Structure 1
Amino acid sequence: MDGQPERDVLAPLIFRRKVHVHPPRILLAVLFCAELAGIVGAVVAVPVAATIPIIPREVLQFRQERGASGPPAGPA
């Protein structure tokens, strides 16, 4: 039971400051990924949890920029 409070409480708070992801989302991601893929899943969980909200935002921004420039000019 040694080290549990640090791992369960402090680690998500530190990750929140570094990758800007809320602690409950980090805990859920680590638990879910660890259940699916074991230790490798637990290690990959934080970057995945940080990346998931970025992808839709970047796609939306790309579509807005492409739409603002208008359709590409083609032969008439």
Structure 2
Amino acid sequence: MKTLCAAAILATAFMFSSPIAGVDQANASDRRDRIQVCDWYRTKAQFASLRGNLDKSEFYWHLFRACMNDRID
């Protein structure tokens, strides 16, 4: 019984070791990068609209919507 308990504790410790934390940090970094890209598309669409270039504005709005529709979790 003690051996089984020790094995369970070691398995749990292994699951929460640093490589998994590194993956979480990488995912958070990817999420921030994706949000910045989506924000860049939105900004480009707004500037194109202000300049009266509606074709380019619609193009960037389309990219922004496609970017935001990819789940940003």
Output the TM-score relative to the length of structure 2. 0.40
Output the TM-score relative to the length of structure 1. 0.39
- The structure with the largest helix share of the pair is 2
Larger Rg: 2
Relative contact order, higher structure (CA 8 A, sep 6+): 2
